[in-house]
Amino acid sequence: MQTITFVGNGNMALSIAKGLKETYKIEVVGRSFEKLDLFEKNLGIKIEKHMMSNYDMTDKTIMLCVKPANIQEIATRLNGRAKVIYSVLAGTSVQKLKVNLNPHAVVRTMPNLAASVNKSMTTLTGDEEYKIEAQALLGTIGKTRWLSSEKEIDIATALAGSGPAYLALIAEAFTDGAVKQGLKRDDAMAIMRGLFEGFGDLIQDIHPALLKDGVMSPAGTTAAGYGALEDGNVRSSCINAIEKAYKKAVELS
Ligand SMILES: NC(=O)c1ccc[n+]([C@@H]2O[C@H](COP(=O)([O-])OP(=O)(O)OC[C@H]3O[C@@H](n4cnc5c(N)ncnc54)[C@H](OP(=O)(O)O)[C@@H]3O)[C@@H](O)[C@H]2O)c1
């Protein structure tokens, strides 16, 4: 059984480890045994636990799950040349990871919040040699998409990484709208959740424009509401949201 070594024992490490635990041996490198024990308890299987200081990464397959700001600090604690580092660090370039941690290969991965329910939309880029392995590893927590450049992963971060926040705003606003018209809050919430679940399935196979055409009858209720969304510049605001988030990702990296 291949071993995957997690560096970092936070939320993202746990989500990915849950996806991998049936098919890979899990090893975790952290800063405190207390947190490593808690990680093991939450994962529900026995893992190998190591302290970060002087941990030897030589020839290991590393899943790097610390915060972007921790790179320089962990570089002073870890030793050896990893075979490959799969990094989940937002906005941290392949170059920066190579300079600081000196692995043979790097793959950047960008999971999203839905990793905790095994439905992440994860984008990947980096050393092509590890494309298939990266898709298999990150595929255990949802869908993956390999992109051909780091610019593209920064754009995709604005879409899939920040996307849950944008859709949450829409979900909350529509629910508030229904409450404003007199629907009870718990009914409105239940209906909104059902709407998103069904829509999530439909959008897999149907183009958004055709979905809209399918529900919008002439001079009907949907057309009235749709016109209000266009009046409110929702389409343009969404396009601007991706631009702002992408520019911020570039600025931060
Ligand atoms: N959460 C998401 O939805 C999401 C989505 C995409 C990408 N990411 C990326 O995933 C990474 C981890 O996020 P997370 O949500 O798992 O964060 P988290 O739960 O806060 O975990 C952070 C981990 O980093 C370790 N750490 C913190 N400071 C450190 C230091 N100075 N030196 C060494 N280790 C240190 C923590 O160790 P201790 O436990 O000892 O404090 C912990 O294991 C981030 O880089 C983020 O960009 C997250």
Contact 30 CB / ligand 1 (< 6 Å): yes
The residue nearest atom 28 of ligand 1, judged by CA position, is 70
What's the predicted TM-score (pTM) here? Answer: 0.91
Cα 197 from Cα 207, distance rounded (Å)? 17
Class of residue 7 by CB neighbours under 10 A (exposed 0-12, middle 13-18, buried 19+)? buried
Alpha carbon 74 to its chain's center = 22
Inform me whether the pLDDT recorded for 249 exceeds 90. Answer: no
C-alpha 11 to ligand 1 mean position (Å): 7
The residue nearest atom 20 of ligand 1, judged by CA position, is 10
Position with higher pLDDT, 91 vs 71: 71
Pick the closest to residue 12 from 92, 85, 66 (CA basis).
66
C-alpha 88 to ligand 1 mean position (Å): 9
Radius of gyration of the chain (CA): 21
Mean pLDDT of the chain: 96
Contact present, 216 and 223 (Cβ < 8 Å): yes
The residue nearest atom 4 of ligand 1, judged by CA position, is 112
Q: Dump pLDDT digits (tens) for 47-79.
A: 999 999 999 999 999 999 999 999 999 999 999
**Residue type at 61 in one-letter notation:** T
